[in-house]
A and B are shown apart, each in its own frame.
Chain A
Amino acid sequence: MMKDVSFGQYYPAESGVHRMDPRFKLVLMLFYVVLIFFVDTFVGYLAYLAFVLLMTGLAKVPLRTLLRSLSGVGVMVIFISIINVFFYGGGEPLWSWWVMSVSVESILHALKMALRIMLLVMGPALLTFTTTPTALTDGIESLLSPLKLIKFPVRDVAVIMSIALRMIPTLMEETDRIMMAQKARGASIDTGNIFRRIKALVPVLVPLFVGAFRRAEELAFALDSRCYNASPKRTRYRILKPGARDAVAVLAFAAWGTFVILSIVLFDFDTMIYNAISAAIGG
């Protein structure tokens, strides 16, 4: 059951997007995420959607896999959309009751919020589909390396992060195994009311924690016995090297970003749609 969660899961495929330098992917994704908070026009969201779909195609990730990343936020999207439709408050009310009112503007606003959240999830999901956890931590470590100047233990943090990421599938597998073992003893983990379910989790959580501590201890001994931290300068096995592919990606991203920014600053697409719809309804 846990294996079905698709967010944060690497999707193996041979593609240029997969082979990109993780640092570039991280920085570009950072821009992507920050920029979306300034986008407030449908042209802008359309550009975002086009970007996500194009990247998905280039990365050879099936659309289904991408959409599955949304399953985690589905409830939130619906909830926020409903709240926005009824409580936005602006515009000419088409319908109103007590403190609630619905207008063309509130519907458009809700639509935008929903789009924003979904795009916000799909972008980073795409990053994790196309980048292995190890490549990601390598990239983060490299990007954080200026912090070494203020004695921030970048390398140790990177090691901790990569170990944590490395342990996620192991712990999930272990959870699965323990759940199965307890189910075999008649535990009903997915039935009953909420209190019962929480109580039913004890036989799973206790062995899981005991196991996690056992693993952590073993790992610490293993690191120690291989003289971790004995030499101040460690070399690395994988060396990140940006290539022509990354330059092309940056250029393409810059062009796309310019378009998005222009769409924010110049177009007033919203008003156009709004006017058209009100005209249609009013007419």
Chain B
Amino acid sequence: MSIEISHLGYTYNPKSPYEKRALDDVTLSIKEGDFVAIVGQTGSGKSTLVQHLNGLIKHTEGKMRVFDIDLDVRRPDYKRLRFAVGMVFQYPEYQLFADTVAKDVAFGPKNAGVEKEQIQARVEDALRAVGLDVAEISERSPFELSGGQKRRVALAGVIAMQPKVLVLDEPTAGLDPEGKKDVLALVRTLHQSVCPTVIMVSHDMEAVAEVCSRVVVMQEGKVLYDTTPAELFEKEEESLQRMGLAIPEAVAIANRLRERGWTLPAVLTPADLAAAIVATVKGGSL
């Protein structure tokens, strides 16, 4: 198991008028190779949960273990945890600070104590991994790049730490459809090539359907569902809608067809749907 969490709870500003229960009895385990989506409404505790994963929030209730790092001991090894779980925040491009792209990407590995000669190689690998041209970009100022490029540089800054788990908070927020597609494709590539375990917080069910193999739905600080996207969208369409989470259109169409008596296999994307419809019509079951 990569990450094991049991009965995790968290309250912001305890004993004040701003007190807020953010997590309540969350039990979750994530295996190596998982591509997990964490979805839920604003304020459902998604961000609080993922901030626990690399120790940005120190857990106060429940038990946690990430790889061989036990977080229940008196002085957990937060430093090692930070480098084992790479965290990409929402709008990561707003945290760029160095005068060149290479220096910004090198920040993480440098903090990790990686040797100088290796840092250079890591920076180049990370920039290549996010699909940027090393020679062209590494000596430019991050502030003169386009929005999409900035986000890739920020992502490279985390990849360069070579984390074993990558956590992404709304990686597609604020992007146009084209940019969204690019980033999703990139995240999928990273999952296959660089970082085997990926956790993605998202509002975007289309994105979840497309890339994730498992989905955790949070509501009011609790885990409501923990299943595969196909099963979730097929069975819990209504309850997701009540939470303001629209299921992917292809799945919605499939669900409507099923209501009219079609028997369709699980579908997630428009391509799946088209194939399923063609197969059904050709098979002559209608």
Given A11-B17, A187-B107: A182 in contact with B95 (beta carbons within 8 A): yes
Which B residues touch A186, using CB under 8 A? 79, 82-83, 107-108, 111-112, 161
Pick the most buried of A3, A181, A203, A207: most chain B CB atoms within 10 A of its CB.
A181
Distance, CA A182 to CA B108, complexed state (A): 8
Q: How far is the CA of A181 from the CA of B108 in the complex (A)?
A: 11
Asked whether A185 lies within 8 Å of B56 as measured between CB atoms, the reply is: no
For B112, give the chain A residue with the smallest CB separation: A186
A210 adjacent to chain B (CB < 8 Å):
yes
The interface of chain B, by Cβ under 8 A from chain A, is 13, 17, 51, 54, 56, 79, 82-83, 86-87, 89, 92, 94-98, 107-108, 111-112, 143, 157-158, 161
Q: How far is the CA of A202 from the CA of B107 in the complex (A)?
A: 12
A43–B95 Cα distance when bound, in Å, is 55
Tell yes or no: A251 within 8 A of B by CB. Answer: no
Q: Which residue of A lies closest to B95 (CB)?
A: A181
Bound: A186/B106 CA distance, A: 11
Report 12 cross-chain contacts, Cβ distance below 8 Å, ordered by A residue. A180-B51, A181-B89, A181-B95, A182-B107, A184-B87, A185-B82, A186-B111, A188-B111, A203-B95, A204-B97, A206-B97, A207-B96
Residues B107 and A185 in contact, CB atoms below 8 Å apart: yes
Asked if A183 and B17 sit within 8 Å, CB to CB, the answer is no
Q: Does A178 contact B (CB under 8 A)?
A: yes
A177 touches B (CB below 8 Å): yes
Q: Which residues of B contact A13 (CB under 8 A)?
A: 17
Query: Whole-angstrom distance between the alpha carbons of A229 and B98 in the complex?
Result: 39
A265→B79 CA distance, assembly (Å): 63
Nearest-Cβ distance from residue B81 to partner chain A, whole angstroms: 10
Q: Is residue A12 within 8 Å, beta carbon to beta carbon, of the partner chain?
A: yes
Residues of B within 8 A of A206 (CB): 97
User: Which B residues touch A93, using CB under 8 A?
Assistant: none
Asked if A74 is at the interface (CB within 8 A of a chain B CB), the reply is no
Q: What chain A residues lie within 8 Å of B157 (beta carbons)?
A: 185
Instruction: Across the interface, name the chain B residue whose C-beta is closest to A3.
Output: B13
User: Considering the complex of A and B, which 5 residue pairs feature the smallest CB-CB distances, nearest first?
Assistant: A186-B111, A206-B97, A184-B87, A185-B108, A181-B95
Is A185 within 8 A of B17, CB to CB? no
Interface: A146 (CB within 8 A) = no
Q: Are A207 and B161 in contact (CB under 8 A)?
A: no
Q: CA of A180 to CA of B161 in the docked complex: distance in angstroms?
A: 16
Give the residue name and chain of the B residue nearest to A211 (CB): B94
A-chain residues with CB within 8 Å of residue B112 when the two chains form the complex: 186
Of B94, B107, B158, which one neighbours A178 at CB under 8 angstroms?
B94
- With a CB–CB cut-off of 8 A, which chain A residues contact B158? 184-185
The residues of A that contact B107 with a CB separation of less than 8 Å are 182, 185-187, 203
Q: Flag if B95 contacts A183 (CB, 8 Å).
A: no
Known: A11-B17, A12-B17. A184 touches B86 (CB 8 A): yes
In the bound complex, CA of A206 to CA of B100 (Å) = 13
Kindly list chain A residues whose C-beta atoms are within 8 Å of the C-beta of B79. Answer: 186
Q: Are B92 and A181 in contact (CB under 8 A)?
A: yes
Q: Specify which chain B residues have a CB less than 8 angstroms from the CB of A210 in the assembled complex.
A: 94, 143
Interface residue ranges of A181-229 to B (CB < 8 Å): 181-188, 202-204, 206-207, 210-211
